[in-house]
Structure 1
Amino acid sequence: MKSLTNEVLHYTLFVMILETIEQYYTWALIAILLLNFSQRKIPNSQKKRFATIYLAALLLIFEVGVVTILTRGWPQKLAFLDLAICAALFYFFREKAWPFRFHCVNCNEKLDMNHIIGHDDNLCQKCYYEAHPEEAAKEEEKNKKLEPEQSSETLGLQDIPDTVSEIDWDIWEPREVCVITYLFENDQVLLIDKKRGLGTGLVNAPGGHIELDETAKEAAIREFKEETELDITDPIMAGRLDFQFKDSLSERAYVFFAHTYRGTPKETEEARPFWCPVSEIPYEKMWEDDQYWLPLALEGKKFEGRFIFDDQKMLDKSITVEEEDNE
């Protein structure tokens, strides 16, 4: 008799648990849908938006099983089968159903709520801008328009210092953002004699400005084509350069390296391309800063450089090299 009573109590308790799950199912589903609506406001979050739909679908499958067991009076052990089926589906679709991360996949910094529920790449803002310099450039351009008083564009000629240390680089904003691309083949690099524009008369690498509707990599490919008629593929960013000129021009340049191309280099209205042995790069005919950062880049080191120029004369420089991860 006592055994029968225990079974009844266990059955009653289990039914109460199932009824509680059924009761709160609607609230759980509403919470997931509200999360989905919140994700719509966050850019680059399509993968995580679909993940919430997958989670809602799994929750619906489990709820249908619970309701069926309760209404038909089926054995309570079937609830475990229902749960096992949902767990198996979750495991099978885990990459789609749970793309969420709580820490940056690059630097392991704790992510804020927006980056946890949105931003499919699971990168913190700093790492995202490092991976997408073109987006950083657009954000800087936007901030420059919102806060023009902080831009170097507002500096008077007499206010531009002669040394890098005198500039507050935290609020410094470039008026122009461009790319510079070096193409390598065997032990040679493709350079150009600049025929017009900034740096006329100097030897340089092909490059130009980033348009508003393109990425830095797309700009590197396009500008290289315009100046040499070569089609390069898969350029890789090697570093970043910030230039402040005494005439108030301020410019940021992203340096790219490429190793594959199609076509034959031809002279254009902007440049005369020529192949040069890497060991014989004519630094004396190039912008003065090149001799300080280009050898670092050729060694495979990531770098950031800051320079003060008066026309084509360099007044001061500061170059930092990204520390290698020895782990």
Structure 2
Amino acid sequence: MQRVTNCIVIENNHVLLIKKPRRGWYAIPGGKMEAGESIKEAVTREYREETNLHLQDPELAGVFTFSVDTEDTFIQEWMMFTFVAYAYNGELTDSSPEGELEWVPLEIIEQLPMAEGDRKIFQHVKRSQELLYGAFTYTEDYQLLDARLDPS
């Protein structure tokens, strides 16, 4: 099973997001873990690779299982560890190979085009600091079929 990490960086009521060119969806910067890395090492490395920013004290905010299924066939599954951070060092890169970086006001996050699972994660992070556990099931074209969250 693939393991990925990402981090929601909040500064001045804005969140740094990356707009992915493939679908035009906004996403939380991060990426795949490498063998032997801790989740905190992975999120720090991936965030720096995509943004040029070095996270300061990222805190685990959620642990999720994602799967992509057709009606009768399992296609893909991965685990995602989402962190939140309020401080960083460095200067934001002018360009990222993963997409366009943008500081987005917290109050409009949920209106942006993004994966529905990410939208649910943002809803939780905006209202609670409690660790969120969840499982999301998507179709092949990333339409959300099911979301189970704890706490709900």
TM category (shorter chain) comes to: 0.7 to 0.9
Aligned partners of 1:231 and 1:263 also within 8 Å = yes
Give the structure with the larger helix fraction.
1
Deviations 1:254-276 (A, max 9, x none): 01001111222222111211111
1:238 and 2:67 correspond: no
The one-letter amino acid of 1:242's match is: T
Corresponding residue number in structure 2 for 1:271 = 99
Task: Kindly indicate whether structure 1 or structure 2 has the higher relative contact order, using CA contacts under 8 Å at least 6 residues apart.
Answer: 2
Deviations 1:71-115 (A, max 9, x none): xxxxxxxxxxxxxxxxxxxxxxxxxxxxxxxxxxxxxxxxxxxxx
Corresponding residue number in structure 2 for 1:309 = 138
From 77, 82, 87, the counterpart of 1:260: 87
Separation in structure 1 between the aligned mates of residue 59 and residue 106 of structure 2, nearest angstrom: 18
Measure how far apart 1:233 and its partner are.
1.6
The one-letter amino acid of 1:286's match is: M
Q: Decide which structure has the larger Cα Rg and report it.
A: 1
Corresponding residue number in structure 1 for 2:12 = 186
Aligned partners of 1:235 and 1:257 also within 8 Å = yes
Corresponding residue number in structure 2 for 1:215 = 38
The one-letter amino acid of 1:205's match is: I
- After superposition, residues 286-301 of structure 1 pair within 5 angstroms as 286-298=114-126, 299-301=128-130
Give the structure with the larger strand fraction.
2
TM-score, normalization: structure 1?
Answer: 0.42
Q: 1:302 to 1:283 in 2, by over 3 A?
A: farther
The one-letter amino acid of 2:14's match is: Q
Aligned partners of 2:47 and 2:53 also within 8 Å = yes
Unaligned regions of 5+ residues in structure 1, if any? Answer: 1-174, 323-327
Unaligned regions of 5+ residues in structure 2, if any? Answer: none
Aligned partners of 2:68 and 2:142 also within 8 Å = no
Separation in structure 2 between the aligned mates of residue 293 and residue 282 of structure 1, nearest angstrom: 10
Aligned partners of 2:9 and 2:85 also within 8 Å = yes
1:249 and 2:76 correspond: yes
Aligned residues: 145
Q: How well do the aligned residues superpose, as a CA RMSD in angstroms?
A: 1.7
TM-score, normalization: structure 2?
Answer: 0.87
Measure how far apart 1:282 and its partner are.
4.2
Q: 1:283 to 1:178 in 2, by over 3 A?
A: farther
